Amino acid sequence: MEEEISLSELFITLKKRLSLIISLGMIALILAAGFTFFIATPQYNATTQILVNRTTESAEGLQLTDINTNVQMINTYKDIIKGPVILNEVQENLETNLTTTELSEKIEITTQENSQVFSLTVTDDSPYDAAEIANAVAVTFQSEIGNIMNVENVTIISEAVPVTDQISPNNSLNLVIGLLVGLMLGVGIAFLLEFMDKTVRDERFITETLGWSVLGSVSEMSNDELKAEVRVKKAELNTRRTKSRV
């Protein structure tokens, strides 16, 4: 027979193991704080915006088809910017120990729909290095793209500036997640211990779980009842002693 568990029993279990649940929550919170403030390396990003127009031979100037082509070409520019043809020169100009692969992993190119402007964002553990790398990549792309493709009009709309507000780790979020994980773990362990506890607690366990018949029960005396019984026994004992003396 399947054992049914009422909502009240769930609350009783949580109340009985409340200290365990709170303890695990605090431990997880402390671990999350230790990781966030002492282990995790803060990350910062810096962004520059670039506008690229391909050279057109049309006598009527820039047409709608040319704009659409420029928008579609941004994916190509992404590959070029994150490739060695640009990053090798950036590495030399900055005299950095970072490899082209490491530089590429720091760069993210984002665009808005139907926009010829794309953003070049660099993430680094230093806000100043992030801005320096972003500007170096933008300038190198501006000077080299004409040698790679039929592109002459490259405009750096905005230069990257150091932003000292870290993007990761999110301190508050990490602490909340750590606390919630600890509490959830505590609740899980509390229910696991309760389900593994086969101590006979009431008649229901005997009749429904074990399928046995209850032949009798022994009541447990409360402290007040126990004290009252002791007083009665003492009074009886004193009475016997008095009678024996007489």
Is omega for the bond preceding 169 within 30 degrees of 0, making it cis? yes
Tell me: do 147 and 212 sit in the same domain.
Answer: no
Are 113 and 52 found together in one domain?
yes
* Same domain (yes/no): 53, 150: yes
Per-residue confidence (pLDDT) for residue 26, from 0 to 100: 96
Residue 52 and residue 151 in contact, taking contact as beta carbons nearer than 8 Å? yes
Assess whether 149 and 182 both reside in one domain.
no
Could you tell me the CATH number of the domain that includes residue 138? Answer: 3.30.70.1130
Domain annotation covers residue 140: yes
* Mean pLDDT, rounded, for 231-241: 79
Cα dihedral: 234, 237, 238, 244 (round 10): 180
Strand order in the sheet with 151-158: 107-111, 117-124, 44-54, 151-158
Average pLDDT for the chain:
84
Predicted confidence (pLDDT) at residue 29 exceeds the cutoff of 60: yes
Can you tell me the mean pLDDT for 87-115?
91
In a domain, 163, yes or no: no
Residue 94 has pLDDT above 80, yes or no: yes
Mark whether 120 and 102 lie in a shared domain: yes
Distance CA 31, CA 180 (A): 12
Same domain, 20 and 72: no
Of residues 1 and 189, more confidently modeled: 189
pLDDT for residue 102 is more than 60: yes
> Does pLDDT of 16 surpass 70?
yes
Residue 119: strand pairing partners: 49, 110
Q: What average pLDDT score do residues 168-192 get?
A: 94
Do 151 and 177 lie in one domain? The reply is: no
Quote the pLDDT of residue 74: 81
pLDDT of residue 62: 47
Domain that holds residue 16: 8-39+169-196
Closest by CA position to 76, among listed 162, 149, 181, 164: 149
- What is the pLDDT at residue 2? 44
**Does residue 164 lie in a domain region?**
no
Residue 219 is assigned to a structural domain of this protein: yes
User: Are both 151 and 175 inside the same structural domain?
Assistant: no
| pLDDT exceeds cutoff 60 at 60 | no
Residues 16, 119 within the same domain? no
**246 or 97, which is more confident?**
97
Return the pLDDT at 226: 79
Evaluate whether residue 3 is within a structural domain: no
Q: Are residues 49 and 150 in the same domain?
A: yes
Does residue 26 lie in a domain region?
yes
pLDDT at 205 over 70: no
Indicate whether 137 and 86 sit together in one domain.
Answer: yes
Question: Mean pLDDT throughout 215-227?
Answer: 73
**SS3 readout for the chain:** CCCCCCHHHHHHHHHHCHHHHHHHHHHHHHHHHHHHHHHCCCEEEEEEEEEEEECCCCCCCCCHHHHHHHHHHHHHHHHHHCCHHHHHHHHHHHCCCCCHHHHHHHEEEEECCCCCEEEEEEEECCHHHHHHHHHHHHHHHHHHHHHHCCEEEEEEEECCCCCCCCCECCHHHHHHHHHHHHHHHHHHHHHHHHHHCCCCCCHHHHHHHHCCCCCCCCCCCCHHHHHHHHHHHHHHHHHHHHHHHC
**Number of domains the chain contains:** 3
State whether 94 and 108 are in the same domain: yes
pLDDT band at 210 (very low <50, low <70, confident <90, very high): low
Is the pLDDT score of 144 beyond 60? Answer: yes
Q: Which residue has the higher pLDDT, 84 or 112?
A: 84
Note whether residue 103 is domain-resident. Answer: yes
**Percentage of the chain modeled with pLDDT above 70:** 80
**In the listed set 158, 184, 213, which residue is the last one of a domain according to the structure?**
158
CA–CA distance, 232 with 227 (Å, rounded to integer): 9
Question: Is position 1 within any domain?
Answer: no
